Structure formats: C-alpha cells, structure tokens
Structure 1
Amino acid sequence: MTATAAPAPAEETVLSVSLRAVAVIAHRDLLRQVKRPGVLLSQGVQILFFVLVYAVGFDGMIGSVGGVPFSAYVFPGIVAIQVVSIGVASGQTYAWDREFGVLRELLVAPVPRICLPLGKVVAGAGMVTVQSALMLAFAPLMGLELTPVRYAAAVGCYALAATVFSVIGLCLATVIKRMQTLQATVQLAMFPMLFLSGSVFSAADAPVWLAAVMHLNPMTYAVDLARQTLLGGHGLLVWWADLAALGAILCGVLLLLRARSGK
C-alpha cells in the first residue's frame, strides 16, 4: 500500500511548482505594467474618448435603443472594447520577451512550457479585470441601475472575456514570429473585431449579411453577455448561449496555445 501511494506526492509537487511558476511570471508582468504609468494613462484616455463620443455625444442624437437610453445601451460595449483591446495586445509582451532573449532564459526552467503563456494570461486578464471593475463603478452616471449582484456578475463577464482574448493574443504571438508583423496584424484585426461586435450599435438592426459576419466575431458574444447582465435583457442571444460560445472559444484557443507552446 505504501508503494502504491508514493506517486501522489510527486504529482502534487509538479502541480505546486507549475502554479508557482505561473504566479512568478504573472507577478513579473504585473510589475512591468505598473511601472509604466504612461500606458495606463493612455488606456484611460481611450476609454474616456469612447464614453464622451459614443455614450454622451450620440445620446442626444439617437435617444434610445429598445426603450433604453443610448448611453446606457452602449456602455457595456465600451467597457468590452477596452477589455478586448488590451487583452489581444497583451500577446505582444510574449513577442518582446522572445525578441530580446528573455523567453529563451525562461524556457530553461524545469517547469512545463505552458506555464509561461499561462502566467502572461493571468497577468493580462487580471489587470484588465481590475480596470473593468473600476469602469463599471461609473455605470450609474450612464443611466444604468447597478446592484451588487449585477456588478459582480458583470465583472465576471469581463474577466471571462479578458481571459479569452488574452489567450487569443498569445496564440497570435506564437504563430507570428516577427514583432512588426504581429503589431500590424493586431491593428488590422482590432477595428473589424471592435466595430462588428454590436458594441456601439444594435446587431438586431444590422442587415442580414452584416449580422452573419457579426456572429463569426468572438467579441460579439462577450458584448452580448455583458449587455444582458447590466441591462437585464436586450440581448442578441440568450445569456447561456453567449456563455457557451465564449467557453467553447476559450477551450479551442487554449488547446492551440498548448500545442504552440510545446514547440
């Protein structure tokens, strides 16, 4: 019986070492982000721009969408824009580490290779989730009724979205080797993804061909889930369909990341 029970501690040790490696890499990336206040400031200016232009500027012109003030309708999508933009761009830190040889040094550590990208996912998704939680505190100014339960559920939605798109960004970084090509690809992909997600207009009012394209956009499901959570309805799909779609996308990109990180 003693010989049979012996492998268990070894498995626990491997798991604990892997978790510690993920935590160390996440801590390193978080410190790097905190030490660059200019980046955080530029991200705050971007979200302020979207709020002023779409939520405030268009509110008087458009009025309401489905009986909901336009500022309240568009606010969940504005937060999602910030979450997705930073999430996808977080993959560039992986490319920088590879460019300057840091990745080579980290890969010699006696831990599974998947720990490196997972640590970056934890750091990127964690930072974006905190930012979304702060932005959601201003939801009442946009005409949204924010209860504690609704606030917690919305933070959970954005945390899931941040995780999904951080993994997507890392997958891009493992597929595209050149830093300049990666930056150009991210910029090229971001604008269609952001504006064909229903973040700033109602997907139900779009032409049939455009609605079909929007259903192929993974961000559409993140925006729709957050909007239903904050508004209590007004969704393109039922909430569990959005959740299932995001879960399926996350599983798919995690498998791809696992395959790419093993090389």
Structure 2
Amino acid sequence: MLDRLAGEPGSAAPTQERLVVGAVRAVGVVAGRDLRRQIRRPGMLISNAAQLLFFIVIYAVGFDSMVGTVGSVPFSAYILPGIIAIPVATVGVATGLSYAWDREFGVLREMAVAPVPRMCLPAGKVVGTGVIVGAQSSVLLLCAPVFGLSPSLGQIAGATVAYLFGSVVFSLLGLFLATMLRQMQTLQASVQLTMLPMLFLSGSVFQPENVPAWLAVLIRINPMTYLVDLGRQVLMGGDHGLVPLGVDVLVLLVLAGFFTVGIRLKVGR
C-alpha cells in the first residue's frame, strides 16, 4: 500500500499538481481497501440488515395498525426516513473503529512516511463509508412503496444525497472519537454509549413534536435528529419537518466542520 501512495521512486520534488494527484490516489487506495475488506467480512452489513429488519417488523408493521396515520401518511411511511437514517449513522460512526484498528496495526505509520497528507486516511475512510451507505440507502428508497410512500425520482435522488451527506457527518463523528480516544476498549464503549441515545432520541420511529418539554430539549441537541428530519422533509415535504430544512443542513454542516477541525488537529496535515 505504501508504494502505491508514494508514487514513482526517485522523482524530483513534487509539484502542487502532483501532490493533489497523490492525495486523490491515496484517498482512493484507502477507500478501495475498506470496500474490499467489507466485501470479505460482511458481518457489519449483516448486523445492520438484522437491525433494520427488527425496526421494520416491530415499528413499521407491528405499530402501523395501532398508530394508524401521521397526518395524511401511514405510520410506516412516516418512519421510513428514520429507518434509513439508522444504518447511515451506525455505519458512519463505526468508521472510527475501522480507523482505530488501522492505527493499531500500523497503517497510519505507513501513511506518515508516504508523501501524502495524513488527512488522506480519514478522507478515504469517509469515501468508503459513503459508497456503502449510498448503496444501502438506494435499496431502501426503492422499497418505499412497500411502506406506503411513493416518492418521485427527484425525491429519491435528493434523499440519497441527504443520506450521503449524513454518512459524511457521522463518519467524521466516528473518526473524531477515534482520534480523541487512543484505547480500543475505551473507544468501543464510547461508540456504544454515543449510538444508543442518538438512535432513540432522534425521532426516527416516533413523532418528535409530541413529547414532553424536557425530552424535546434532548431531541434537539441530538445530531441524528437533523439527519432524520432532513430525510423526512426531502421525501415527504416540509409539513412533516421538526425545523426548517435549511436548519437541518446548517446544523449538519457545522458539526462536520467541527469534527474535521478536531481530526485535523490530532492527525496533522
């Protein structure tokens, strides 16, 4: 891998253009490596599929007849954007664990001596996660009519972009945790401690408007709330939004910027 990142041996001092090309190549190498590893070890994808099946069976099917409709849409259609957001956030945050394993087994040391920016490794992780999340989200969006939701092609494309954006934000969150916490055991515990509140306080499988005031505060400080709300508004319109769509985008952008700065400070240029 190091040879592929380093480029041609014995070359002259790299120009700006060659540095950019080398950085893009490095990101592609890291992303491709992660994708191949995921194909060979599909445990995470199977785990996410089982989790989705649980939410679909219990919430979308089990509660549909009991809850009925939310406004003018079936309950199963209302929670579909939240169900799609669950693996987006889960796979994204798990990127931090993959980064930590690479750190443990020396990949970071290889990157450190290659003539590419150190941020290429986190960037490659984000790109690889985006490919996985994009494929998962597209499959679930194409299954939307099963849930009683019939989005247009434009809405499906917009939602796919929204979930790809969400995968970037939550991948950066996972990488931020991985760079701040050096011990694998501590990181794994922190990821679990982070994910559970985010999943259950995001409004993914309930109406976040109809909760007590103290719970509404917790929901609004949860990053995943804004991803769920963004997907819901893109697929179903602004009438079903918790906050304006622009606020969802702005909050996620601010979080992405904050996590990126934190990661860069830790890994260097």
Q: Same fold (TM over 0.5)?
A: yes
Q: In the alignment, does 2:249 pair up with 1:243?
A: yes
The amino acid that maps onto 2:75 is F
Deviation at 1:14, TM superposition (A): 1.2
Distance 1:163 1:39 in 2: 18
Q: Cα deviation per residue 1:179-222 (whole Å; 9 max; x = unaligned)?
A: 11111111111110011111111111011111111111111110
Residues 50 and 78, structure 1, Cα contact 8 Å, conserved in 2: yes
Q: Cα deviation per residue 1:23-77 (whole Å; 9 max; x = unaligned)?
A: 1111111111111133322221221111111111110111112232110011100
Q: What is the TM-score of this pair, normalised by structure 2? A: 0.91
Q: In the alignment, does 2:28 pair up with 1:18?
A: no
Identity of aligned residues (%): 53
Q: In the alignment, does 2:43 pair up with 1:38?
A: yes
Residues 154 and 226, structure 1, Cα contact 8 Å, conserved in 2: yes
3-state SS in 2 of match to 1:205: coil
Distance 1:87 1:39 in 2: 11
Distance 2:260 2:39 in 1: 27
For 2:9, the equivalent position in structure 1 comes to: none
Residues 125 and 159, structure 1, Cα contact 8 Å, conserved in 2: yes
- Give structure 1 stretches of 5+ with no counterpart: 1-8
Summarize the alignment of residues 125-204 of structure 1 with structure 2, pairs less than 5 Å apart: 125-204=130-209
Distance 1:252 1:38 in 2: 31
Distance 2:114 2:123 in 1: 15
Q: Report how many aligned residue pairs link the two structures.
A: 255
- Give structure 2 stretches of 5+ with no counterpart: 1-13
3-state SS in 1 of match to 2:15: helix
The amino acid that maps onto 2:246 is W
Please, which of 112, 120, 123 is the counterpart of residue 107 of structure 1?
A: 112
- Per mean C-alpha deviation after superposition, the further-off stretch among 215-224 and 252-261 is 252-261
